[in-house]
Amino acid sequence: MKKSMIMITLATLTAGCFGPKELLVRVAPLGEEVPETVEQYLYVLPQTVLKVEVTCQETKYVPGPFMEFSGKFLGITEVIRQNFSRWQILDVKVTPHAEMDPAMLYHVNVLEGEFHAGLLEPFLEKGMILDGSGSVLEEAKSPSLGTREIMDYVRYQDLGIESNFEERTETMFKTIVTDTSFVQVPVDRTITEQKTPATKAREAAEFLLELRTRRFELLTGGYEGFPQGAAMEAALARLDELEVSYLSLFTGKTLGRRLKKAWFIVPETGADPSRYRLGMFSGQLGFVPEELMEGAPLEVTIEPLGKTRDIGAYYSGRGGEAATNELYYRIPDVVELSIDWGGEELTRQRISLFQAGAVMAAPLK
């Protein structure tokens, strides 16, 4: 009996000596080798990248061909008299997304035991760490695609319903030689010539006033029979369209197009505010090169608030070179972001930035 108990005890001790070993890992930055490593797993800490989108609009003013006759025939003096453009910023949008931080790559060095990749899943699901296999796709499409040609070339095609030529009769005298004298005989001839701009402007103004008269009579029941319902709406819409078209011959046309520009900013770490210049923006020319000395700078200012920067002083932070079974991650800090144009603040918001926060250590079990 005693021999049996001794054998059972020895078997138990032997199984304990040669059984599965307890997991022992040490996390170190990439490039810092750890001796006696059995396996290695790579992960990286995220950094916040900001996509800044600025939507602006160009309004182009084009004078009409009968601009100089607007006061004479229509009594309108406030018209567009020269080509020019105006630019304004309509909207500013900041969108953060996470990417790999190339300066924060770590190796999980397995020294003893068996490591399961599932131990990293809770950290990967929360976005605290990245495995390096994810891809990034961020884009900003401009709404001005295909509109630049329209803005650069404006045509006035409908200048009136009358012919561009007119006929006039001239009386000439033809001298006929008789036997006794010279006789002058009147001869009429018809001359076809192009109408002057003043004549075309007068005809366009008369047609414009006629359109207004017809619309008034249509609305007040001046005709014995007039359209009803949808037909009435279509007729009035067509009259309004014709009036706008002919009125633009005198007052000019106003065209607009929107342009969106995007920048990707990787904010720097540190406690001091950082500034990033997006470009120079002019109210007359839009975005211009800085060497033109035109417009005012469009700048992004990022100021860390320091909410998590010193968190390691109160909680367990990175355990040092000899720390084992700890995984390093980073807590994002809150920053204030503002975008200014020539001293005028366009937007201000609070955003979380990974690279502005503190590196912490979590137990890896």
Chain Cα centroid distance, residue 141:
7
For residue 146, being part of any structural domain is answered with: yes
Q: Model confidence over 174-213: pLDDT tens digits?
A: 777 776 777 777 777 777 788 888 989 999 999 999 989 8
Residue 114 has pLDDT above 80, yes or no: yes
Residue 144 has pLDDT above 60, yes or no: no
Number of domains the chain is built from? 1
For residue 12, being part of any structural domain is answered with: no
State which residues form the domain around 327.
21-155+256-363
Percent of the chain with pLDDT strictly greater than 70: 84
The per-residue pLDDT for 231 is 84
Q: Model confidence over 46-71: pLDDT tens digits?
A: 999 999 999 999 999 999 999 999 99
At 71, is the secondary structure helix, strand, or coil? Answer: helix
Beta bridge partners of 40: 109
For residue 264, being part of any structural domain is answered with: yes
* Closest residue by Cα to residue 214 from 240, 247, 251, 245: 240
For residue 142, being part of any structural domain is answered with: yes
Question: In 144-214, where do the E strands start and end?
Answer: 165-177, 182-194
For residue 211, being part of any structural domain is answered with: no
For residue 33, being part of any structural domain is answered with: yes
pLDDT confidence band for 14 (50 / 70 / 90): very low
Q: Model confidence over 22-31: pLDDT tens digits?
A: 888 888 888 8
Q: Model confidence over 158-170: pLDDT tens digits?
A: 777 777 777 777 7
For residue 63, being part of any structural domain is answered with: yes
For residue 334, being part of any structural domain is answered with: yes
Percent of the chain with pLDDT strictly greater than 90: 32
Q: What are phi and psi of 150, to 5 degrees?
A: -65, -40
Q: At what angle do helices 230-251 and 197-220 cross, to 10 degrees?
A: 150
The per-residue pLDDT for 6 is 45
Q: What are phi and psi of 169, to 5 degrees?
A: -105, 130
How far from each other are the two terminal CA atoms of the chain, in whole angstroms?
Answer: 42
Q: Model confidence over 320-361: pLDDT tens digits?
A: 455 788 888 888 889 999 999 988 999 999 999 998 888 888
Q: What is the dihedral of CA 128, 134, 140, 141, to 10 degrees?
A: -160
